[in-house]
Structure 1
Amino acid sequence: MSYANRQQMGSNRTVSIIVVALLHIVLGYALVTGLAYNVLKKAASDLKTFDVTEPPPPPEEKPPPEKPNTPPPPQVVAPPPMVRMITMAPQIQTVSVAPPPVITVRVAPPAPPAPPQPVKRDSARAKGSLIGLFSSEDYPNSALSANEQGTTAVQLTIGTDGRVSGCNITSSSGSSALDNATCNILRRRARFSPAMDSNGAPTTDTYSQRITWRVPAE
């Protein structure tokens, strides 16, 4: 900075100091003389009184309306992936099967027919009367004591020797003692001419007989 400029700044500062000092002197004098009091009173009377009214409070803000409880939107579910069904034709395997073995069944020839049985030519015949073989002495004692009587029918089997080989009761007299006595006497005493077949050989035969038992009179 040049010298001239610095000298000018110093003179300005001096002037300012002088002005401030004069103001202090004037104010001091006014205070002493009461001038300042009048000036202040006049200034106070000139002041206008203003009623200070507090502004009304701001209106209360209404609460925002409640939002309706709306269900959340459904979730978007992606569709399942498409499955492509591939149908495979079944593979048919050809298996060679051997033909079943041939089974030969040999059927035995039928048996030759049995030779024809000789036909009976002559029936067995009793030698004498069979009723005459019985007497009062043959009456069983148990049947006499019980006063039992009746007719016993029998079928006799005649052997090739003409003797009785079997006795079958076909009709009972009602007394077992009389029936048993009939068969026992005929087996022991009866004799027959055996039956003959077509070849002239003796053969077995049957013979029927009825024996009546009566309690002997005293």
Structure 2
Amino acid sequence: MTLAPPDRTRTGALLVTIGLHVLLGWALVVGLGVDVPRVAQGALATFDILPEAPEPPPPPPVPQVVRQGRPEGRAAPPNIRSKATEVVATPPVVPLPVPPPVVTAPVAGPGNDASSGATDMVGPGTGAGGIGDGLGSGGQGDGDGGGGGDTPPRQIGGSIQGAALPPELEERGFEGTVEVRYIVETDGRATECQIMRSSGSRAIDIATCRQIERRFRFRPSLDGRGRPVPSVMVQRHEWVVDRVRE
């Protein structure tokens, strides 16, 4: 008796066993009614993935116009209420002017007229009547002459000498005559000095008027009744300034 080799026996047994298992599994699937899903075999679709498009840049900012309104005015502070003071002042007593006393004569006159005094009518008496053509003294005039009975002013103090002069004038020396016009007031002072004719030096002219108004004193002019009145003086003053020798 010839025996088969052991390797072939094992291989056959293995194949038989595998076949039985396959048949058994197939029977179970068919018996239970289980549908075996079919794998759909189709062509794979391919596509390209593009990069995302960049976002557009943001629009430039629109400048905003800022309008500045005028500042509103503030409310005025509350008014201060006034209240009368409790102290009452009596009105001042204004003294009335005292009328001047009436000039009366100590003894009443013997006349019967309502008034006394000389009239402007020419009469037959010997008193001083209206304007006549005799040899007596005339009346007072309003001209610019000396007039009858007026006394001219007379200087009683003051001199041109000693006036302050600028140094440059003393250094080079000076000679000249200045004519001035000023007013002698009733108190004997000289005012309103004016230069009628210049000496040629402004410093000399100013010094002359300054000395006259500061230093000169007069006995004022008198009218026919002896009352002081203003008068006008016109004078010439000669200046001789010696040159200072070094």
TM-score above 0.5: no
Q: Which has the higher helix share?
A: 1
Q: Per chain length, whose mean CA-contact separation is higher, i.e. which structure has more relative contact order (CA < 8 Å, sep 6+)?
A: 1
Shorter-normalised TM-score: what interval? 0.3 to 0.5
